[in-house]
Every structure is written in C-alpha cells, then in structure tokens.
Structure 1
C-alpha cells in the first residue's frame, strides 16, 4: 500500500483546521502543515491532532503550496486548503488509490458550503480540482490568484467530494470579491491584458447567465441567485479595476 502525505497551508485557521485534519485521519500517513505565523491557535490545534507543523512567512499561494509539497515525506500527496475537508466517498476512493494507483494524479469535485448550505449547481459545482498526485511529477503554478496543479503524467477522476466551507455570511463574500478582484486585475495588468467598457458590461452579464441559467444555479433557490449575482459582481470589479489601472484612475 502506498503511503499518503496530506499537506495544508494555513494562516489564522483555528476555526477550520481541526475539521480538515479530522476528515483525512483514515487515509493520511502524515499531515504536514506549513503555517504563515498564525496569531491564533491554528498550530496548537494542528499539533494536538498529530500534524507535523512548519512555519515560514507567506510567499504567495503558489510558492507556499510548493514549499509545503517539498516538506511531505511521501511522494503521494493530497493537497487541501484549511477550510476544506473530504467526504466519506472520497475517503474510500483515496483508499483505493493507495491500494492500486493507476494514474499519476487524480481530480475530484469540490462542493461548497455557502451560508450553511451545500451548493450543487451553477458555476460552483462540480468544481473539479486536481488535488491527489505524485509530487515528483506535479507542481503548483500560477501568479497571485487561481493557482493550480500542473502534472506531467496521466490523470483519473475520483468519486466523492472535497467539502469547501466558504462563506457564512454575505458580507464575507463581498469582502472576498473585493480582494480577489484586485489580485485578478493586477495579474491581468502585469500580463498586458486590457479591459474595456464592453468587457465591463457584457462579461458580468455572461457570468450571471452562464451560472444561473445554463448551469442551473436557479435549482439552488435563493442562494443560487445570490451566488450568481456575486459572481457577476466579481467579474465587473475585476474588469473595472483593470480598466482603472490602464487609465491610472484611483480605485
């Protein structure tokens, strides 16, 4: 049987880290935490649950996650965020991989909890992620935001979900939209991408239509509408801030 390292980067995650570690206990041969000098009980909780804890200043999401990979003892790695957990079906699927791996990496769906309810339609589900892989053939790539794993090898797909515990309240979502739109606009600007009035008007509309209508976000009821509206808002803010950078307008 292959041994598995679960790697997690953290910063002030005392609310989430215990749940995350508990969810992987049945499959993890080690849990590695790379913490960015948290000011709360994150590292204490992780240590109490048997994780190996390292610390270094935050270097960016891509760099931090690759540093965490390098700390893993075993080649087979499951990379999670602190606000994630794995469900029982995914535990069973990962156990099968440990017994008989037939690919170099595996994707799985991510299901997000929003204001206390899991969302199973729209632009948020299935949110397929490559998170289980042979670290000798994979690295995290990306800039300030939207980091992803790139693998030089074969991939398969596992049954079961990563459970993502995101926003408990709308104001948390709005605040994160503001942060992510700034990071996205800065990344686009650095690449030489351009915004325009057309993109500011049409792209948010398309984001809403795609998530709420084409991908059946309406089936999630009122929260499906709220999510679609916030995805449109994020899209507008991203292209507005990019336009502001182009025109040297204060944001």
Structure 2
C-alpha cells in the first residue's frame, strides 16, 4: 500500500491553513514546513488539526520544498499551497494513481479564483502543476528559486480533477505578491548577466500583454481579463525591467 504525505509551505497563513489542511485529510500524513519568519498562529492551528510542523530558515522556495522531501517518511509527496484546497474527488484520484506502475510524478490542473472570480483564460487554466511525486524520484532545481522547477526521474502523467486555488483575494495582495516577484526575478537576471536594451522597458510589457490577452485569449474573461492581463504585463514586463536597470546602476556605483 503506497502511503502519501501532503506537504504545505507556510508563512503567516493563519487565515488559510485550516481550509488547506482539512482538504487533504485523506493523506496518511500532513506536513507543514514553516518559514522561520512566521509570527502568527499558523503553527498552532496546524498542530490542532493533526499536522506535523517543521520550522526551517527560508532561503528560497526550491530549498524549502527540498527540505520537505528530506523529512517525508512516505513513498509519495503531494505538495499543496496554503491558499489551495484539494477536492474530495482529487483526493480519491490521487490515492488511485499512486498504484499505477511506471509513473513517478503527476501533473494536477488548477482552477484559479482571482479576486473571487474563476479565471479560465489568459494562461490561468488548466494551469497544470507537477505536485505529486515519488520521494525517491524528484528534487527541486536550486537554480530556479522563484518559479520552481522539478527534476523528475521517470514518467509523469496528468490528473483530471483540479486543485482549487484561491489566488489573489484582494488587489493589495496581488500587488504585494507581484512586487515580491519583481524583486526576486530582477535579482536572478542581474546575477545571470542580463542587460536590458533601452527600448526593452517599452517593448517587453507590450509583448507580455499580447501574449496573455491575445495569444492566450485573456480577452475571453471580459473586463476582468483585460485588467488582469494589463497588470501582469506591467509587473512582468515594465516593473522587472525597471528594477533590473536600477540594480545595474546601483552595482556600478558600488564598484567605483
């Protein structure tokens, strides 16, 4: 009988951790990897539900997830984020597929609820995530600390039942998360030696908007899709380029 751990990375998630952990009650073990900077009641709530809580110093998301692999005592690990929930149907599907011979990983579709509205276009659905893996066959690539990349040995398959992602419940939360992304992504590009050309700050946001709104059909979500695609283009295109340019200037000033 293959056993499964449901793992959650958490930091100050007291408002969402209960819903998340209760949605994976079908797992043989629930493990919360808590950022050492967390100050709210996330740990206490998790323990009352029956989860094992481990505190680890945060370096990046890939490192946190690999820490979970190192402290999992089951054959399979299913990672779920604190703002996600697994339906009963997804749990049943997961418990079934882990017995499929030859597979070491499974991709899970995600339904994204953004500002309370399900968003099905602009690249937001099916939004497959590689979240279920044999512990002895997977590892997160430390060279991709922001948008984590799983290094999987073996064959992967695709599940039918989706995760529900309560993604960006407020505009304030959206802006804060995107600003965090901008800082991390600009730092990665700086260390990689990327040097934007003068026109990039204009051309890149236009390319991003075309990609999400036109090519990925974000327009099909109406005004909601227009606003979302415009904001994504601003942060992914303009803000990252502007922050990278600023970092380059600061680096040059410090070396003089």
Matched position secondary structure for 1:72: coil
Does the 8 A contact of 1:34 with 1:53 survive in 2? yes
* 2:61 is aligned with 1:61: yes
**For the aligned residues, what is the CA RMSD?**
1.8
* 2:79 is aligned with 1:79: yes
Q: Which runs of 5+ in 2 are unaligned?
A: none
1:50-95 superposed Cα distances (whole Å, 9 cap, x missing partner) = 1111112223211111111211111211012211112344223212
- Residue 31 of structure 2 corresponds to 32
The aligned length equals 249
- Residue 175 of structure 1 corresponds to 176
**TM-score if structure 1 supplies the norm length?**
0.93
Q: CA deviation at 1:101?
A: 4.6
1:158-197 superposed matches below 5 A: 158-197=159-198
**TM-score if structure 2 supplies the norm length?**
0.91
- Residue 133 of structure 1 corresponds to 133
d(CA) in 2 for partners of 1:31, 1:16: 15
Does the 8 A contact of 2:104 with 2:133 survive in 1? yes
Matched position secondary structure for 1:104: strand
Matched position secondary structure for 1:65: helix
Does the 8 A contact of 1:196 with 1:243 survive in 2? no
d(CA) in 1 for partners of 2:217, 2:95: 33
Q: CA deviation at 1:229?
A: 0.9
Structure 1 residue ranges, 4+ long, deviating more than 6 angstroms after superposition: none
Does the 8 A contact of 2:63 with 2:145 survive in 1? no
Q: Which runs of 5+ in 1 are unaligned?
A: none
Q: CA deviation at 1:246?
A: 2.4
Does the 8 A contact of 1:195 with 1:240 survive in 2? no
d(CA) in 2 for partners of 1:16, 1:101: 35
Q: CA deviation at 1:33?
A: 1.0
1:188-221 superposed Cα distances (whole Å, 9 cap, x missing partner) = 1101122123322122112111211221212222
- Residue 198 of structure 1 corresponds to 199
Q: CA deviation at 1:31?
A: 0.5
d(CA) in 2 for partners of 1:44, 1:211: 40
